[in-house]
Structure 1
């Protein structure tokens, strides 16, 4: 070692050693026992960004800007010299421009010819780039490992030169080969392939190993493991080819597999459900179809195609205008647009002209949604109800005709009975007969009036004369009409009104008819000496009127049909008098015409009934 003047301190190390030290990129330096530099090669001077004059003969504390780093270096040097043993360490140093660099250093004590410690020799190498590369490789490895774990993959590496599979512990467990990473022959993997999938698997492997191909395989196969379980595997394999004896041959295979049993079973069930759905739709007697938002047909079943005389390849893109003519489709388009805009299903009747004949369909229409939750089509299920509509029309005409024909003789009968009442005293049998005829005539007049109202309501001919009405006023009219039948049956009728008046908009005559019918119904199906309560309350912006009796009640299974037309008393399980079964139907329709609702409740036979009407309060 020499100082700047060239004076030897430790003996001449030789020109070759000096030349090596001067030429190497490694940092080489020597310090005395006080930590002063006595040798620093060019790499050392470059690392500390100083000249030889600034370094030689000085300690780290005397020329380094980072005093803390200088003290740490000198402490390490002192430890090496005190122990008298070489040491290796990695250090992180900050350069003058603020960059962090990493160094691998070897420091060893220097001794003279007599073995006396005279200083320290250090050799250091900048490993910043190597450490960065190692960190990048580790990050890539972690990313790959995280990706493999997140994707649920199990890995294998196939060595085609040794015919061995290096498989991960996860794949070993999946195939019930073991619990750790292992090396197995390729045959061990093939033996786990389900026998029914082996031929297909071998064909695909042969294609993948063909040097003329891209060496890529993606396949779903079943694995049959020793426990008897069958698992679906999605396998991806990439072959790495190499040159051997002038030929391109498979060298390595990188394989990733994933257990897709759940997905495959779900997909199989979905396909089965789809096939079932398609079969049901195609074989349905009703017309099943779907139209896009522009009104073009995109789906149809055999019944729909047969109706229009179209083959399957002729239905795509057909519009209602082409099938029914533009003058008949406004209502259909309006219904479709309502479903698409609201996202709600509708049940409608649509009348169209089909091959010169007017046809009426009852159609259930509902939206179809795409994966983003947007309506992309309207699906419909339609049934031809032309015959039903025509039958209803004829029924309504018959009821109207019947009611009028029955009403014609009632007036002279009533006149005859009135004459009999005025002729003076009749013998008791004749008087009883006359009274019976008057009661029956009153009953018959009510039935005929109900029949006429049914006819008017069914044909939309009933006109309401609405006005502001106090509910108490309505009920007084109703009770006045019903009081005779209530008294005749020996019932108690109680009216419970709220302290404040409740005002609704309605037709006084028709609303009184509603509650008169309900009271008469309660009287009819309550044993003699019963009780009928009429209670009125305010209920969330509506007037709630409940008519309750302690009569024969209604069976639970019959309650849903009590408002059906021609549902007779015997069918309702009241056990009271029979009737035509039109009173409650008429009550419900009259309530609905007033934008109200009616509900029936009973705890069962013998436990009475309650009919509750709710009418919107007037503004």
Structure 2
């Protein structure tokens, strides 16, 4: 609505001046009568409502406002002004015709006639949407800053250098035991909390920070010695601003954030101590300790490794196995490293290298090293020189092989002599002697055969003649050979075999040897008149063989070692000795070669034993 000028000069007619001002302002100006009908609306008002003057003048808010609740609220405000005769100021959220929400700060006051009677309401509203949005953004920023400060564990202070005062937050006051609320304290109060051993360093850092020639930025860790006797490490960050006073730049204000880093410093101290200990252990270890990156370059090596390779740290860093040991040994070393890097699993392996013309055998334990992102970035190794042990094993194997062969040479004539005696007519006493000699001869033959097998397996020369067979056939062959020993011991033997053939792909002779050794072991460790049981069944794609007895049993501490070479159980009362400890070792090795497993169970001494062998069933 455009106000009309009355009179020839704007300054001659005050009402014309007021209309001109109302037309020019961005503020909404309106007037209503006592019934709430609009009597005046300036252009800003009409624009805000999105209506022409003829649709506004003479009508109430209920007639022109699309929001009925808003209209009733506006008219209630008008009635409150008329009833009180006072001024009402209120913020209102009003949607524009386009649906946008705008915020208005409205000031309403009564209109009076020359006699002072209230005849209507005058309103002036200002669009404060931008201010509201700015206030909301500032509040959001303040909340974000506060949340960030709290999340970071920061406590704040503002320093007034001109008046030598610190404005500190309640959190900082509590941290340094000054109080429980925001406060203003002299700068000396903060300095007094600094640990005496750190004060000189602190003063020098503050002096450099408040020097106008510098950046005005400080980051420092100092200890606070508190009245309670507690010592806390504080990380302090300070930014100083400068202003000109009497023609010179001087420190004006300082904005300080501090954080309690006591736990971090203690953890770092423990970590450094652990690192020093680890480095000392690695450096002083007698074994070779080293690490190589994925390109095969040495990145870590201890004193023992440098002594063995005769390299200085500078020479060793970045060296490769090709340079140190030659291409042939390097190929095997790299293959082992690759296996660890690709699988992520530790590896135990023997490795051979040649140094100064001497072949050295290492027992190496290799494992992956991971970076912060969880990726393997290197392979670490710990290698022990076992050359002497390997050589001793080789000599032992050669000795066993020689011993077995030397013992076997006289067995043939002894066998022949016993056979001649068997065919001769001997007196009863002589015949009993011959039978004892024959039993001991058979036992000696088994021992020699076992020694030969130990030698063959140790040297990797035992060959299996694989062919189709059944577990029942192997058991029958073994029991036929063991029957005499079982009967001589006075044992009863129960056999429980599955009715269907348990088909295997293996060496029948060696599998019969497995069964025979288990039965002989049960016979030896069961007192006369004992009970033995051999069973075979199919279970989960495997043939399961069990040999059990009610003999002397196995102590719990002996069970883990029962399959070790030369491991011996305690001799039963009826035995002269416990045996050489070869038979069960051979059983395990032969079962392993057939891709099977074996386990021993016993409830303890005097409670008998059960040996369970599992072998994969052949297809078809």
**TM-score, normalised by the number of residues in structure 2:** 0.91
The offset of 1:355, in angstroms, is: 2.2
The residue aligned with 2:189 is: 188
Gaps of 5+ in 1: none
Q: Distance in 2 between matches of 1:108 and 1:271?
A: 75
The residue aligned with 1:80 is: 81
The residue aligned with 1:590 is: 590
The residue aligned with 1:532 is: 532
The residue aligned with 1:272 is: 273
The residue aligned with 1:373 is: 374
Cα 1:468/1:204, change in 2 over 3 Å: farther
Work out whether 1:457 is the aligned partner of 2:457. Answer: yes
Q: Distance in 1 between matches of 2:455 and 2:395?
A: 11
CA deviation map 1:578-603 (0-9, x unaligned):
22221111111111111112222222
The offset of 1:55, in angstroms, is: 7.7
Q: Alpha carbon RMSD of aligned pairs, Å?
A: 2.8
The residue aligned with 1:435 is: 435
Bigger drift between 453-462 and 231-240 goes to 231-240
Q: Distance in 1 between matches of 2:267 and 2:576?
A: 57
The residue aligned with 2:425 is: 424
The equivalences for 1:340-359 within 5 A come to: 340-359=341-360
The residue aligned with 1:384 is: 385
Conserved 8 A contact 2:525-2:571: no
The equivalences for 1:157-176 within 5 A come to: 157-176=158-177
Gaps of 5+ in 2: none
Cα 1:574/1:172, change in 2 over 3 Å: farther
The offset of 1:129, in angstroms, is: 2.2
Cα 1:23/1:191, change in 2 over 3 Å: same
Cα 1:118/1:422, change in 2 over 3 Å: closer
The residue aligned with 1:601 is: 601
The residue aligned with 1:256 is: 257
Cα 1:15/1:472, change in 2 over 3 Å: same
The residue aligned with 1:58 is: 58
Work out whether 1:553 is the aligned partner of 2:556. Answer: no
Q: Distance in 2 between matches of 1:406 and 1:56?
A: 129
SS of 1:329's equivalent in the other structure is helix
Bigger drift between 182-191 and 571-580 goes to 571-580
Bigger drift between 595-604 and 280-289 goes to 595-604
The residue aligned with 1:502 is: 502
CA deviation map 1:382-418 (0-9, x unaligned):
1111221111111111111111111111111222222
Bigger drift between 562-571 and 488-497 goes to 562-571
SS of 1:88's equivalent in the other structure is strand
Bigger drift between 361-370 and 53-62 goes to 53-62
SS of 2:527's equivalent in the other structure is coil
SS of 1:120's equivalent in the other structure is strand
Work out whether 1:117 is the aligned partner of 2:118. Answer: yes
The residue aligned with 1:615 is: 615
The equivalences for 1:480-519 within 5 A come to: 480-519=480-519
The offset of 1:507, in angstroms, is: 0.8
The residue aligned with 1:563 is: 563
Cα 1:140/1:543, change in 2 over 3 Å: same
Cα 1:45/1:513, change in 2 over 3 Å: closer
Conserved 8 A contact 1:222-1:231: yes
Cα 1:392/1:596, change in 2 over 3 Å: same
The offset of 1:327, in angstroms, is: 2.3
The equivalences for 1:232-251 within 5 A come to: 232-251=233-252
Q: Distance in 2 between matches of 1:67 and 1:339?
A: 75
Conserved 8 A contact 1:601-1:609: yes
Cα 1:32/1:6, change in 2 over 3 Å: farther
Q: Distance in 1 between matches of 2:414 and 2:67?
A: 130
Conserved 8 A contact 1:61-1:67: no
Conserved 8 A contact 1:22-1:41: yes
Bigger drift between 35-44 and 366-375 goes to 35-44
The residue aligned with 2:205 is: 204
Bigger drift between 467-476 and 216-225 goes to 216-225
The offset of 1:22, in angstroms, is: 5.9
Q: Distance in 1 between matches of 2:194 and 2:32?
A: 70
SS of 2:351's equivalent in the other structure is strand
Count matched residues.
613
Bigger drift between 390-399 and 206-215 goes to 206-215
Cα 1:186/1:62, change in 2 over 3 Å: closer
Q: Distance in 2 between matches of 1:583 and 1:258?
A: 70
Bigger drift between 447-456 and 191-200 goes to 191-200
Conserved 8 A contact 1:601-1:610: yes
SS of 1:493's equivalent in the other structure is strand
Cα 1:291/1:264, change in 2 over 3 Å: same
The residue aligned with 2:131 is: 130
**TM-score, normalised by the number of residues in structure 1:** 0.91
Bigger drift between 252-261 and 590-599 goes to 252-261
The residue aligned with 1:577 is: 577
SS of 2:437's equivalent in the other structure is helix
CA deviation map 1:441-481 (0-9, x unaligned):
22111111111111111111111111222111111111221
Conserved 8 A contact 1:569-1:575: no
SS of 2:440's equivalent in the other structure is helix
Q: Distance in 2 between matches of 1:167 and 1:537?
A: 83
Conserved 8 A contact 2:418-2:434: yes
